[in-house]
Amino acid sequence: MSSTGACEEEASRISVAVRCRPLSNSEKNNEVVDICRVMDQRLVILLDPGAASTDYLRHDKSKEKRFAFDQAFDPETSNQQIFQATTQPLIGSILQGFNCSVFAYGSTGAGKTFTMIGTQQSPGVMSHTVDSLFAQSGSDPCVSIVCCFIEVYNEVLRDLGSKDGREGMLDLREDPVTGPSLTGVTEFQAQSVEDVMKLLQEGNQRRTTEPTAMNVTSSRSHAVFQVRVERRDLRSEAVTLGKLSLIDLAGSERASQTHNSGMRLLEGANINRSLLALGNCINALASGSVFVPFRDSKLTRLLKDSLGGNCRTMMIANVSPSHLSYEDTLNTLKYANRAKNIRVSASQQLIQPDDHVRQYTHAIADLRQEAAIL
């Protein structure tokens, strides 16, 4: 029997949802036109921005773009509804030992952070997830739920759960049984949704945000919230391990649009490198390629076990309805459309007690190999 028992396997493809945010008051005051229509909770129609008009009937239908997704959410949809439709169905799987991930993709200002972190009044997917996990198994003494919150910025991993940020101190290791793991990261055994909301809000403020020509608070980093759920069977001592990664990706807009230069350009290159690597991994997985270039960036190395193989993946593509964001919105919809083709095979991760011996043997072999390379 293999060391990570694939007790249950199922082929499923990445599930893709699109969320269109409402126009902001300042957009409305500045006569920005809403060119995004969500229909039947699956269809997204992007109207021709050239003839921007609030009157749908006056649009040139031959120029509109239509896309169908697993789910599509209109601007009235609340964060709680987004959670219930996208992430809640994954909670049972995590408790059974599957790895799951939820990505928020989209350009700056499209609503990624609102969706994943949210506000005090409207907590995002991350808080709702922990709330739901606790509601289902928080009082079970055999279950341990541990969270961490990190940032990938310029290909450097930073600990958002630590007050001093611990830049550069996080080490990414590949564990043959449990997958990529971070050494030195601050881990939280959160007891309530308020605790988690505090961690997320404080951590989010520690994220590296620098002014760019496009948006003064544009987020140039990827934020990853990971929840590890271990369930120990008292009789057999076997442990089921499920990991959920919730990712607020950096803005997907092209670096050229933000008139970046110098340091900003370097950041742009790195952000693109991580997003590019993510796109390449998505393409490789979608085409059934044997080789998936996970090692091409920190983000894809970190999420190696959250994308292919033992994993269920959900992408929430965020878009702005503004006619000024037409190009970005179209790019996001095309990217999300490509992601629909990924088929992944999810298998349950069950670790037998003697796996630890095997695990250490592998780890030692890995270290020897690394030492040899150095």
CB of 176 to Mg ion, least distance (A): 34
Inter-axis angle of helices 79-86 and 88-95, nearest 10: 50
**Which segment (36-44, 48-56, 110-118, 171-179) binds ligand ADP by CB under 6 A?**
110-118
Q: Which is nearer to ligand ADP, 328 or 355 (CB)?
A: 328
Q: Does 153 bind ligand ADP (CB under 6 A)?
A: no
Tell me if 113 is assigned to a ligand binding site: yes
From Mg ion, ligand ADP, none, which one binds at residue 111 (CB under 5 to 8 Å depending on kind)? ligand ADP
Question: Which residue of 44, 90, 110, 292 would you call a contact of ligand ADP, by CB under 6 A?
Answer: 110
Tokens of 31: 């006569």
Q: Write the CB contacts of 161 (distance below 8 Å, at least 6 apart in sequence).
A: 148, 149, 150, 185, 186, 187, 188, 199, 203
Interaction residues for ligand ADP, span 241-300 (CB under 6 A):
251
**Residue 200 vs 350, nearer CB to ligand ADP:** 200
Phi, psi of 212 (to 5 degrees): -125, 170
> Is 113 an interacting residue with respect to Mg ion (CB under 5 A)?
yes
User: Do residues 274 and 152 touch, judged by C-beta distance below 8 A?
Assistant: yes
DSSP classification of residue 184: S
* Whole-number Å distance between alpha carbons of 63 and 49: 9
Count of positions (residues) in the chain? 374
* Helix, strand or coil, per DSSP, at residue 106: coil
Amino acid present at 115: T
Q: Which does 114 bind (CB under 5 to 8 A by kind): ligand ADP, Mg ion, none?
A: ligand ADP
Q: What region, left, alpha or beta, does residue 111 occupy, with left being phi > 0 and alpha being psi -120 to 50 degrees?
A: left
Residue 109 annotated in ligand binding: yes
115 binds Mg ion (CB under 5 A): no
- Per CB under 6 A, 112 contacts ligand ADP: yes
Q: Residue 221, interface with Mg ion (CB under 5 A)?
A: no
**What's the distance, Cα to Cα, between the start and end of the chain in Å?**
34
Looking up tokens 């965020």 gives 318
Q: What is the CA radius of gyration of the chain?
A: 21
User: What type of residue is 223?
Assistant: A
Distance CA 206, CA 44 (A): 34
CB atoms within 10 A of CB 340: 16
111 binds ligand ADP (CB under 6 A): yes
Q: Which stretch binds Mg ion (CB under 5 A): 95-103, 107-115, 120-128, 233-241?
A: 107-115
- 107 labelled binding-site residue: yes
- Tell me the window of 26-34, 106-114, 131-139, 262-270 that interacts with Mg ion (CB under 5 A): 106-114
> How many residues touch Mg ion (CB under 5 A)?
3
From CA 300, how far away is CA 250, in angstroms rounded?
A: 14
Considering CB distances under 5 to 8 angstroms, the limit depending on partner class, which of ligand ADP, Mg ion, none binds residue 320?
Answer: none
Smallest distance, ligand ADP to C-beta of residue 127, A: 15
Binding site for Mg ion (CB under 5 A): 112-113, 219
Binding site for ligand ADP (CB under 6 A): 21-22, 24, 106, 108-114, 219, 251, 318
Binding-site annotation: residue ranges for ATP = 106-113
